[in-house]
Amino acid sequence: MGCIISPLTFMLFYKAFDVGNPDGYWKAPYALIYHCMAIIGVEGFSVLPKHRLSVSAGIFAFAMLLSIARDILPRRYVKYVPLPMAMVVPFLVGGSLAIDMCIGSLVVFVWEKMDKKDATIQVPAVASGLICGDGIWVFTSSLLALAKINPPIRMKFTPAS
């Protein structure tokens, strides 16, 4: 099913939205990452902006320090050390998903404080339902966009200009 549905969904997105436009809503961040990696592979590190390599090395060292801290700290302190991979997600997928994840994490935090047993049982089901619901809405929204119909509900966190 995935071999059929995924390409069809991509073509639907591609026709309905401006996929890959760096200024558009669907920026395709991986395309930009692979493009830059190809340029570095061909032309070397000299094409990078000044200090980019040293900043990257510093961030890599910080991520390694966090990973080592998670391995050596006592269990009760580990929950306060952020996961380096989780810190990278907003840079790859964009701000809107990061905001959703932040709000969802806050809701789970409050839910666990109020009723830990209920939260432990129901959080995965609620999260799965919200993710599926968002996917169904994006699919429906793209069908409406193909028909040149603006959805009746629109929420966007972008500058007014």
- Contacts of 129-136 spanning 24+ positions with Cβ under 8 A: 130/104, 134/100
Question: Which pLDDT score is estimated for 68?
Answer: 94
Q: Tell me the whole-structure pTM to 2 decimals.
A: 0.48
- At 79-107, the pLDDT tens digits run 899 888 888 877 776 666 777 777 888 88
Q: Furthest-apart CA pair in the chain: how many Å? A: 57
**Whole-number mean pLDDT of the chain?**
80
CA distances from 51 to 32, 46, 80, 117 (A): 20, 11, 31, 49
- Whether residue 108 is predicted with pLDDT greater than 60 in this model: the reply is yes
Residues in CB range of 73: below 8 A, 6 or more apart: 81
